[in-house]
Amino acid sequence: MSAAPVLSVRDGHKRFGAVHALKGVSLDAYRGEVLALLGDNGAGKSTLVRCISGVHALDEGEIRLDGDVASLSTPALARGAGIETVYQDLALFDNLTPAQNFYCGRELAFPKWLPRGLRFLRAREMDREAASVIDRLKVRLPRFDAPVALMSGGQRQAIAVARATVFARKVVILDEPTAALGVRESRKVLDLVRQLRDEGNAVILITHNMEHVIDLADRAVVLRQGRKVGELKPERANQQELVSLIVGAEA
């Protein structure tokens, strides 16, 4: 884990009308670690992630990347800054292949002096680059040229995570990556998350599965009712403390 955080949120506030969704939340994420973001439904996790990924803008506070204040007012700006987010719905196009999903909206094309809509796609290069990432992350697919609609839930999740790694230069955010997956497929996705961490990425993991938190996360930040209420290293010995922080009970 690096000495300085790659991502910092400082005193973040977000309001939606009368609802104060984030109330002075601060956190740091470092390269080479998995940071679990925990909390019950309505705790503010999704709002915080959407602010980091450019869907919402903070009303107060700031977000820093590698120490510099970042303007993340749109998802495109967040992606351009090196932040990739994998939501629960995965946002995959079922009729496209893995490579086509990887580069959808960011296609490699030539010549660059032509308007984007008139360029020629560099399809073989995109296939080659996507296949290289899939191979590096040890993701097994039945056919690389098949549409993702024909693949299992775990394979689709792995494709979505792998797509994020192609473009993420700083942070990968995973929102419930093992939701609705079986034990075997969940294990494969968790191995993929470990590999992302080992390659030096900062990984923010949102999950309700405490076993995954204990086994995988280097640190955990707990939100409750829009506030940060705790931060600790998840271990078997403090699992009850984590649960108490989440639900607001006495440990």
Write the DSSP assignment of 150-199 as a string of letters: GS-HHHHHHHHHHHHHHH-SSEEEEESTTTT--HHHHHHHHHHHHHHHHT
Q: How far apart are CA 95 and CA 40, in angstroms?
A: 35
Residue 242 included in any domain: yes
* pTM for this prediction: 0.86
The answer as to whether 237 is a domain residue is: yes
The amino acid that residue 28 corresponds to is D
- For residue 174, is it within any domain? yes
- Collapsing DSSP states into helix, strand and coil, what is residue 65? strand
* 223: containing domain: 7-96+170-247
pLDDT for 37-56, tens place per residue?
A: 999 988 999 999 999 999 99
Which residues fall within 8 angstroms of residue 186, CB to CB, at 6 or more apart? 154, 178, 212
pLDDT of residue 104: 84
204 within a domain of the structure (yes/no): yes
State the alpha helices, DSSP H only, in the chain: 45-52, 75-80, 98-103, 123-136, 153-167, 183-198, 210-216, 239-247
Domain presence at residue 190: yes
| CATH number reported for the structural domain that contains residue 84 in this entry | 3.40.50.300
Between CA 160 and CA 138 the distance in angstroms is 14
For 161-207, the pLDDT digits (tens) are 888 877 888 999 999 888 777 787 788 888 888 888 988 899 999 99
Q: What is the domain count for the chain?
A: 1
Quick one: pLDDT band at residue 1, thresholds 50, 70, 90?
Answer: low
In this prediction, residues 230-240 reach a mean pLDDT of 86
At 2, list the tokens: 């690096």
Asked whether residue 90 is domain-assigned, the answer is yes
If you count them, how many residues does the chain have?
Answer: 251
Structure tokens at 125: 């290069």
Residue 219 located in a structural domain: yes
103-126 tens-digit pLDDT: 888 888 888 888 877 888 888 888
Give the model's confidence band at 66: pLDDT under 50 very low, under 70 low, under 90 confident, else very high. very high
Task: Give CA–CA dist 183/181, Å, rounded.
Answer: 7
What is the Cα–Cα distance from 153 to 22, expressed in whole angstroms?
A: 32
Can you name the residues that pair with 174 across neighbouring β-strands? 86, 205
Asked if residues 234 and 217 have their Cβ atoms less than 8 Å apart, the reply is yes
pLDDT tens-place string over residues 2-24: 589 999 999 999 999 999 999 99
Residue 112 covered by a domain:
no
pLDDT of residue 21: 96
